[in-house]
Amino acid sequence: MRITFVNQYYKPLNNPPAKRLSAFAEYFVKKNWDVNVITGQPNYPTGKLVKGYNWFWKKEKINGVQVYRFAEIPMKNEGIIKRLINYLSFTFSSLFSFPIIAKADIVFISSPPLFSAIPLFYISKCFNKKVIFDIRDLWPESAAGVLKAKKGFFYKIFDNIVNNMYKKSDLIFAVSGEMKKNLTDRKLKNVKLITNSSKKKKIIKKKDSKKTKIVYTGIITKAQNLNLLLKVNLDKKISDKFEWHIAGDGEELSSLRKFVLKNNFKNVFIYGYREKSFCDKIIQEGDLCLAPLGESEIFKMALPSKALEYISYGKPILVSWSTEMKSIIDKNDCGYFVPTVKKGFKEVLLKINKKDLLIKSKNAHKLFLKRFEEESVCKKMFVTI
Protein backbone atom coordinates (compact mmCIF):
# COMPACT_ATOMS: atom_id res chain seq x y z
CA MET A 1 0.00 0.00 0.00
CA ARG A 2 1.12 3.54 -0.75
CA ILE A 3 0.33 6.48 1.52
CA THR A 4 1.26 10.14 1.04
CA PHE A 5 1.32 12.59 3.94
CA VAL A 6 0.80 16.29 3.27
CA ASN A 7 1.76 19.22 5.49
CA GLN A 8 4.08 22.20 5.22
CA TYR A 9 6.03 21.04 8.29
CA TYR A 10 8.09 17.86 8.73
CA LYS A 11 11.39 16.68 10.18
CA PRO A 12 13.92 18.07 10.99
CA LEU A 13 11.48 20.64 12.41
CA ASN A 14 10.29 19.97 15.95
CA ASN A 15 6.94 21.79 16.02
CA PRO A 16 3.70 19.86 16.74
CA PRO A 17 2.65 19.08 13.13
CA ALA A 18 6.16 17.93 12.21
CA LYS A 19 6.34 15.61 15.22
CA ARG A 20 2.84 14.22 14.61
CA LEU A 21 3.36 13.46 10.92
CA SER A 22 6.90 12.13 11.41
CA ALA A 23 5.62 9.64 13.99
CA PHE A 24 2.77 8.48 11.74
CA ALA A 25 4.89 8.25 8.59
CA GLU A 26 7.66 6.25 10.27
CA TYR A 27 5.13 3.90 11.85
CA PHE A 28 3.77 3.07 8.36
CA VAL A 29 7.34 2.35 7.21
CA LYS A 30 7.59 -0.22 10.02
CA LYS A 31 4.44 -1.83 8.62
CA ASN A 32 6.15 -2.12 5.20
CA TRP A 33 4.06 0.53 3.45
CA ASP A 34 5.43 2.77 0.70
CA VAL A 35 5.45 6.17 2.45
CA ASN A 36 5.85 9.60 0.84
CA VAL A 37 5.68 13.08 2.38
CA ILE A 38 4.88 16.33 0.56
CA THR A 39 6.26 19.19 2.64
CA GLY A 40 8.14 22.50 2.63
CA GLN A 41 11.66 23.66 3.39
CA PRO A 42 12.50 23.66 7.12
CA ASN A 43 12.78 27.24 8.40
CA TYR A 44 10.10 27.51 11.12
CA PRO A 45 9.94 29.58 13.35
CA THR A 46 13.12 31.59 12.78
CA GLY A 47 12.79 32.09 9.01
CA LYS A 48 16.33 30.71 8.62
CA LEU A 49 16.74 27.53 6.61
CA VAL A 50 18.14 24.54 8.43
CA LYS A 51 21.68 23.79 7.24
CA GLY A 52 21.73 21.59 4.15
CA TYR A 53 18.42 22.86 2.74
CA ASN A 54 17.53 25.45 0.10
CA TRP A 55 14.31 27.38 -0.41
CA PHE A 56 13.47 25.72 -3.75
CA TRP A 57 13.51 21.91 -3.94
CA LYS A 58 14.91 18.83 -2.23
CA LYS A 59 14.25 15.10 -2.29
CA GLU A 60 15.54 13.02 0.60
CA LYS A 61 14.91 9.86 2.59
CA ILE A 62 14.46 10.11 6.36
CA ASN A 63 14.13 6.87 8.36
CA GLY A 64 12.66 5.07 5.35
CA VAL A 65 10.23 7.88 4.46
CA GLN A 66 10.57 9.46 0.99
CA VAL A 67 10.33 13.22 1.57
CA TYR A 68 9.62 15.70 -1.25
CA ARG A 69 10.28 19.32 -0.29
CA PHE A 70 8.70 22.01 -2.43
CA ALA A 71 9.58 25.70 -2.69
CA GLU A 72 8.90 27.92 0.29
CA ILE A 73 9.92 31.52 0.93
CA PRO A 74 11.48 31.46 4.41
CA MET A 75 9.84 33.92 6.79
CA LYS A 76 10.07 34.43 10.52
CA ASN A 77 6.86 33.39 12.26
CA GLU A 78 5.62 36.87 13.10
CA GLY A 79 3.00 39.17 11.63
CA ILE A 80 0.16 38.26 9.27
CA ILE A 81 1.88 39.46 6.06
CA LYS A 82 5.03 37.41 6.61
CA ARG A 83 3.02 34.31 7.47
CA LEU A 84 0.84 34.68 4.37
CA ILE A 85 3.89 35.05 2.11
CA ASN A 86 5.34 31.89 3.62
CA TYR A 87 2.09 29.90 3.46
CA LEU A 88 1.15 30.95 -0.08
CA SER A 89 4.64 30.31 -1.50
CA PHE A 90 4.39 26.68 -0.41
CA THR A 91 0.75 26.46 -1.51
CA PHE A 92 1.62 27.37 -5.10
CA SER A 93 4.77 25.24 -5.33
CA SER A 94 3.05 22.20 -3.81
CA LEU A 95 0.59 22.14 -6.73
CA PHE A 96 3.39 20.45 -8.67
CA SER A 97 3.16 17.47 -6.32
CA PHE A 98 0.21 16.00 -8.28
CA PRO A 99 2.31 13.15 -9.83
CA ILE A 100 3.13 11.96 -6.28
CA ILE A 101 -0.53 12.15 -5.25
CA ALA A 102 -1.57 10.29 -8.41
CA LYS A 103 0.49 7.24 -7.36
CA ALA A 104 -0.87 7.06 -3.79
CA ASP A 105 -3.59 4.76 -2.49
CA ILE A 106 -4.29 7.02 0.51
CA VAL A 107 -3.59 10.74 0.91
CA PHE A 108 -3.28 11.96 4.51
CA ILE A 109 -3.72 15.75 4.66
CA SER A 110 -3.01 17.49 7.96
CA SER A 111 -4.26 21.01 8.74
CA PRO A 112 -3.34 23.72 9.67
CA PRO A 113 -1.89 25.40 7.67
CA LEU A 114 -5.06 25.30 5.61
CA PHE A 115 -3.86 27.12 2.48
CA SER A 116 -2.01 24.19 0.91
CA ALA A 117 -4.49 21.65 2.30
CA ILE A 118 -7.36 23.01 0.19
CA PRO A 119 -5.91 22.59 -3.34
CA LEU A 120 -4.15 19.31 -2.56
CA PHE A 121 -7.35 17.92 -1.05
CA TYR A 122 -9.29 18.57 -4.26
CA ILE A 123 -6.42 17.34 -6.44
CA SER A 124 -6.51 14.09 -4.44
CA LYS A 125 -10.26 13.83 -4.99
CA CYS A 126 -9.82 14.42 -8.73
CA PHE A 127 -7.54 11.36 -8.76
CA ASN A 128 -10.23 9.47 -6.82
CA LYS A 129 -7.98 8.84 -3.82
CA LYS A 130 -9.04 7.91 -0.32
CA VAL A 131 -8.46 11.11 1.67
CA ILE A 132 -7.88 11.31 5.41
CA PHE A 133 -8.33 14.85 6.75
CA ASP A 134 -6.30 15.28 9.94
CA ILE A 135 -7.67 18.27 11.91
CA ARG A 136 -5.38 19.70 14.60
CA ASP A 137 -7.17 23.09 14.77
CA LEU A 138 -10.58 24.00 13.42
CA TRP A 139 -10.15 26.60 10.69
CA PRO A 140 -11.21 29.30 9.99
CA GLU A 141 -12.57 29.39 13.57
CA SER A 142 -9.09 29.17 15.08
CA ALA A 143 -7.69 32.00 12.95
CA ALA A 144 -10.64 34.24 13.79
CA GLY A 145 -10.19 33.46 17.49
CA VAL A 146 -6.46 34.23 17.55
CA LEU A 147 -6.85 37.45 15.54
CA LYS A 148 -10.11 38.37 17.32
CA ALA A 149 -11.53 39.10 13.88
CA LYS A 150 -15.15 39.39 12.85
CA LYS A 151 -16.72 36.59 10.84
CA GLY A 152 -16.92 38.51 7.59
CA PHE A 153 -16.81 37.74 3.88
CA PHE A 154 -13.52 35.81 3.76
CA TYR A 155 -14.40 33.86 6.88
CA LYS A 156 -17.62 32.64 5.26
CA ILE A 157 -15.79 31.62 2.07
CA PHE A 158 -13.23 29.53 3.98
CA ASP A 159 -15.92 28.12 6.26
CA ASN A 160 -17.93 26.87 3.26
CA ILE A 161 -14.84 25.36 1.63
CA VAL A 162 -13.73 23.57 4.79
CA ASN A 163 -17.20 22.19 5.54
CA ASN A 164 -17.33 20.83 1.99
CA MET A 165 -13.94 19.18 2.59
CA TYR A 166 -15.26 17.57 5.77
CA LYS A 167 -18.20 16.10 3.86
CA LYS A 168 -16.00 14.78 1.05
CA SER A 169 -13.36 13.28 3.36
CA ASP A 170 -13.27 9.50 3.64
CA LEU A 171 -12.05 9.76 7.22
CA ILE A 172 -11.49 12.65 9.65
CA PHE A 173 -9.11 12.63 12.60
CA ALA A 174 -9.68 15.03 15.51
CA VAL A 175 -7.02 15.58 18.18
CA SER A 176 -9.35 16.16 21.15
CA GLY A 177 -12.67 14.84 22.42
CA GLU A 178 -14.23 18.32 22.36
CA MET A 179 -13.14 18.78 18.73
CA LYS A 180 -14.56 15.39 17.79
CA LYS A 181 -17.88 16.37 19.39
CA ASN A 182 -17.90 19.66 17.45
CA LEU A 183 -17.42 17.80 14.18
CA THR A 184 -19.94 15.04 14.90
CA ASP A 185 -22.49 17.70 15.86
CA ARG A 186 -22.27 18.75 12.19
CA LYS A 187 -23.68 15.30 11.34
CA LEU A 188 -20.34 13.96 10.15
CA LYS A 189 -20.18 10.21 10.75
CA ASN A 190 -16.57 9.50 9.82
CA VAL A 191 -14.79 11.32 12.69
CA LYS A 192 -12.27 9.46 14.87
CA LEU A 193 -10.29 10.64 17.89
CA ILE A 194 -6.53 10.40 17.34
CA THR A 195 -4.78 12.58 19.90
CA ASN A 196 -1.35 14.12 19.68
CA SER A 197 1.36 12.08 21.36
CA SER A 198 4.95 12.14 22.52
CA LYS A 199 7.82 9.69 22.75
CA LYS A 200 8.41 7.92 26.05
CA LYS A 201 11.08 9.76 28.04
CA LYS A 202 13.58 8.59 30.59
CA ILE A 203 12.56 10.16 33.89
CA ILE A 204 15.59 11.77 35.54
CA LYS A 205 15.53 12.68 39.21
CA LYS A 206 15.94 16.44 39.40
CA LYS A 207 18.10 18.30 41.86
CA ASP A 208 16.35 20.01 44.74
CA SER A 209 16.27 23.80 44.57
CA LYS A 210 15.09 26.48 46.96
CA LYS A 211 12.68 27.97 44.44
CA THR A 212 10.01 26.12 42.50
CA LYS A 213 10.88 26.22 38.79
CA ILE A 214 8.10 27.11 36.34
CA VAL A 215 8.91 26.24 32.70
CA TYR A 216 7.45 27.23 29.34
CA THR A 217 8.87 26.07 26.00
CA GLY A 218 7.23 26.93 22.69
CA ILE A 219 5.97 29.71 20.52
CA ILE A 220 5.53 33.12 22.18
CA THR A 221 2.50 34.94 20.77
CA LYS A 222 -0.52 36.80 22.14
CA ALA A 223 -2.39 33.50 22.34
CA GLN A 224 -0.14 32.35 25.22
CA ASN A 225 -0.58 35.55 27.27
CA LEU A 226 2.87 35.21 28.86
CA ASN A 227 3.12 38.97 29.44
CA LEU A 228 -0.05 38.82 31.49
CA LEU A 229 1.07 35.71 33.34
CA LEU A 230 4.35 37.29 34.39
CA LYS A 231 2.54 40.23 36.00
CA VAL A 232 1.95 37.99 39.01
CA ASN A 233 5.72 38.07 39.53
CA LEU A 234 5.33 41.68 40.68
CA ASP A 235 4.03 40.17 43.92
CA LYS A 236 7.01 39.55 46.23
CA LYS A 237 5.41 36.35 47.57
CA ILE A 238 5.51 34.97 44.02
CA SER A 239 8.99 36.21 43.12
CA ASP A 240 10.41 34.77 46.36
CA LYS A 241 8.79 31.39 45.73
CA PHE A 242 9.34 30.79 42.00
CA GLU A 243 11.84 30.89 39.15
CA TRP A 244 10.55 31.26 35.58
CA HIS A 245 12.34 29.63 32.64
CA ILE A 246 10.96 30.52 29.20
CA ALA A 247 12.40 29.25 25.90
CA GLY A 248 10.89 30.02 22.50
CA ASP A 249 10.45 32.55 19.74
CA GLY A 250 7.53 34.52 18.36
CA GLU A 251 6.09 37.95 17.81
CA GLU A 252 5.70 38.64 21.55
CA LEU A 253 9.26 37.68 22.55
CA SER A 254 10.59 41.23 22.30
CA SER A 255 7.84 42.78 24.42
CA LEU A 256 8.19 39.97 26.98
CA ARG A 257 11.89 40.71 27.35
CA LYS A 258 11.23 44.45 27.68
CA PHE A 259 8.66 43.75 30.41
CA VAL A 260 11.16 41.60 32.34
CA LEU A 261 13.92 44.22 32.03
CA LYS A 262 11.61 47.09 32.95
CA ASN A 263 10.61 45.35 36.18
CA ASN A 264 14.11 44.06 36.90
CA PHE A 265 12.95 40.49 37.46
CA LYS A 266 15.96 38.56 38.73
CA ASN A 267 14.06 35.27 38.88
CA VAL A 268 12.86 35.26 35.25
CA PHE A 269 15.05 33.76 32.52
CA ILE A 270 14.06 34.35 28.88
CA TYR A 271 16.23 32.27 26.53
CA GLY A 272 14.67 32.97 23.13
CA TYR A 273 14.72 30.24 20.48
CA ARG A 274 16.77 27.21 21.54
CA GLU A 275 17.36 23.73 20.19
CA LYS A 276 15.25 20.81 21.39
CA SER A 277 18.04 19.45 23.61
CA PHE A 278 18.11 22.71 25.58
CA CYS A 279 14.31 22.76 25.94
CA ASP A 280 14.33 19.13 27.07
CA LYS A 281 16.90 19.99 29.74
CA ILE A 282 14.96 22.87 31.29
CA ILE A 283 11.77 20.78 31.27
CA GLN A 284 13.61 18.00 33.12
CA GLU A 285 14.88 20.51 35.69
CA GLY A 286 11.45 22.12 36.13
CA ASP A 287 8.81 21.53 38.80
CA LEU A 288 5.74 22.84 36.95
CA CYS A 289 5.15 23.45 33.22
CA LEU A 290 2.86 26.02 31.63
CA ALA A 291 0.43 25.40 28.77
CA PRO A 292 -1.59 28.65 28.75
CA LEU A 293 -4.26 29.46 26.16
CA GLY A 294 -5.95 32.69 25.11
CA GLU A 295 -9.60 33.37 25.78
CA SER A 296 -11.08 32.16 22.52
CA GLU A 297 -14.01 29.77 22.25
CA ILE A 298 -12.04 27.62 19.82
CA PHE A 299 -9.30 27.02 22.42
CA LYS A 300 -11.80 25.38 24.77
CA MET A 301 -11.45 22.31 22.54
CA ALA A 302 -7.66 22.37 22.59
CA LEU A 303 -5.41 19.59 23.79
CA PRO A 304 -2.04 21.42 23.66
CA SER A 305 0.74 19.22 22.32
CA LYS A 306 3.18 20.94 24.67
CA ALA A 307 1.12 19.70 27.63
CA LEU A 308 1.59 16.13 26.38
CA GLU A 309 5.31 16.76 25.96
CA TYR A 310 5.49 17.96 29.57
CA ILE A 311 3.65 14.98 31.06
CA SER A 312 5.89 12.62 29.07
CA TYR A 313 8.65 13.87 31.41
CA GLY A 314 6.37 13.34 34.40
CA LYS A 315 5.87 17.06 34.91
CA PRO A 316 2.66 18.52 36.37
CA ILE A 317 1.02 21.09 34.11
CA LEU A 318 -0.76 24.37 34.66
CA VAL A 319 -3.37 24.98 31.97
CA SER A 320 -5.91 27.74 31.36
CA TRP A 321 -9.21 28.00 29.48
CA SER A 322 -9.36 24.58 27.77
CA THR A 323 -12.35 22.56 29.01
CA GLU A 324 -10.72 19.51 27.40
CA MET A 325 -7.65 19.94 29.62
CA LYS A 326 -9.75 20.76 32.69
CA SER A 327 -11.50 17.41 32.36
CA ILE A 328 -8.16 15.59 32.03
CA ILE A 329 -6.63 17.36 35.03
CA ASP A 330 -9.70 16.84 37.22
CA LYS A 331 -9.87 13.11 36.43
CA ASN A 332 -6.15 12.41 36.78
CA ASP A 333 -4.90 14.96 39.36
CA CYS A 334 -1.91 15.70 37.13
CA GLY A 335 -1.75 19.48 37.38
CA TYR A 336 -3.66 22.71 37.92
CA PHE A 337 -6.39 24.46 35.96
CA VAL A 338 -7.31 28.16 36.01
CA PRO A 339 -10.34 29.50 34.09
CA THR A 340 -8.31 32.32 32.50
CA VAL A 341 -4.84 33.79 32.96
CA LYS A 342 -6.57 36.80 34.54
CA LYS A 343 -8.56 34.77 37.05
CA GLY A 344 -7.11 32.55 39.73
CA PHE A 345 -3.54 32.23 38.45
CA LYS A 346 -1.83 33.97 41.37
CA GLU A 347 -4.04 32.21 43.92
CA VAL A 348 -3.13 28.80 42.50
CA LEU A 349 0.60 29.59 42.53
CA LEU A 350 0.49 30.71 46.16
CA LYS A 351 -1.14 27.41 47.21
CA ILE A 352 1.36 25.17 45.37
CA ASN A 353 3.73 23.14 47.51
CA LYS A 354 6.40 20.61 46.60
CA LYS A 355 4.58 17.65 48.18
CA ASP A 356 1.55 18.22 45.92
CA LEU A 357 3.83 18.69 42.91
CA LEU A 358 5.45 15.32 43.55
CA ILE A 359 2.05 13.56 43.67
CA LYS A 360 0.86 15.30 40.50
CA SER A 361 4.17 14.49 38.80
CA LYS A 362 3.65 10.74 39.30
CA ASN A 363 0.06 11.00 38.13
CA ALA A 364 1.12 12.96 35.02
CA HIS A 365 3.51 10.22 33.94
CA LYS A 366 0.92 7.49 34.56
CA LEU A 367 -1.58 9.38 32.40
CA PHE A 368 0.97 9.78 29.62
CA LEU A 369 1.77 6.06 29.50
CA LYS A 370 -1.93 5.20 29.53
CA ARG A 371 -3.19 7.57 26.81
CA PHE A 372 -0.55 9.58 24.97
CA GLU A 373 2.54 7.43 24.39
CA GLU A 374 3.54 7.74 20.73
CA GLU A 375 3.69 4.06 19.79
CA SER A 376 0.20 3.31 21.12
CA VAL A 377 -1.35 6.38 19.45
CA CYS A 378 0.28 5.45 16.12
CA LYS A 379 -1.03 1.90 16.45
CA LYS A 380 -4.56 3.19 17.07
CA MET A 381 -4.31 5.45 14.02
CA PHE A 382 -3.00 2.60 11.83
CA VAL A 383 -5.77 0.21 12.90
CA THR A 384 -8.39 2.93 12.31
CA ILE A 385 -7.25 3.40 8.72
Residues 95-112: tens digit of each pLDDT? 999 999 999 999 999 999
Residues 57 and 170 reside in one and the same domain: yes
Task: Check residue 284 and give its pLDDT.
Answer: 95
Mean pLDDT score, 264-290:
95
Residues 185 and 218 reside in one and the same domain: no
**Segment 116-126, tens digit of pLDDT:** 999 999 999 99
pLDDT at 149 over 80: no
Range of 37's domain? 2-194
SS (H, E, C) 26-89: HHHHHCCCEEEEEECCCCCCCCCCCCCCCCCCEEEEECCEEEEECCCCCCCCCCHHHHHHHHHH
* Letter string b/e over residues 110-123, b meaning 16 or more CB atoms within 10 A of that residue's CB: bbbbbbbbbebbeb
Residues 91 and 137 reside in one and the same domain: yes
Residue 379 domain-assigned (yes or no): no
- Report DSSP letters for 97-121, one per residue: GHHHHHH-SEEEEEESS-TTHHHHH
pTM over 0.85: yes
Structure confidence at residue 140 as a pLDDT band (50, 70, 90): confident
Residues 225 and 367 reside in one and the same domain: yes
CA dist 22 and 233 (Å) reads 38
Task: Check residue 145 and give its pLDDT.
Answer: 66
The answer to whether 101 and 124 have CB atoms below 8 angstroms apart is: yes
- How many domains does one find in the chain? 2
Structure confidence at residue 87 as a pLDDT band (50, 70, 90): very high
Which CATH number is 138's domain given? 3.40.50.2000
**Segment 177-187, tens digit of pLDDT:** 999 999 999 99
Point out which residues pair with 62 in neighbouring strands.
65
Task: Check residue 293 and give its pLDDT.
Answer: 86
> 200, 64, 23, 44: which is closest to 113 by C-alpha?
44
Task: Check residue 204 and give its pLDDT.
Answer: 83
Residues 165 and 263 reside in one and the same domain: no
Point out which residues pair with 32 in neighbouring strands.
none
Task: Check residue 341 and give its pLDDT.
Answer: 76
> 207, 202, 208: which is closest to 314 by C-alpha?
202
pLDDT at 148 over 70: no
Residues 29 and 148 reside in one and the same domain: yes
Structure confidence at residue 154 as a pLDDT band (50, 70, 90): confident
**Final residue in a domain of this structure, among 163, 194, 225:** 194
**Final residue in a domain of this structure, among 167, 194, 221:** 194
Strands (E), the chain: 2-6, 34-39, 58-62, 65-69, 106-111, 130-135, 171-174, 191-193, 212-217, 242-247, 268-272, 288-291, 317-320, 335-338
Mean pLDDT score, 232-249:
96
Mean pLDDT score, 259-272:
97
* Letter string b/e over residues 165-178, b meaning 16 or more CB atoms within 10 A of that residue's CB: bbeebebbbbbbbb
The answer to whether 381 and 208 have CB atoms below 8 angstroms apart is: no
DSSP structure class, residue 185:
T
pLDDT at 78 over 90: no
> Which residues, at least 6 apart from 313, have a Cβ–Cβ distance to it below 8 Å?
201, 203, 280, 283, 284, 365
Average pLDDT score, the chain:
94
Task: Check residue 8 and give its pLDDT.
Answer: 98
Task: Check residue 358 and give its pLDDT.
Answer: 95
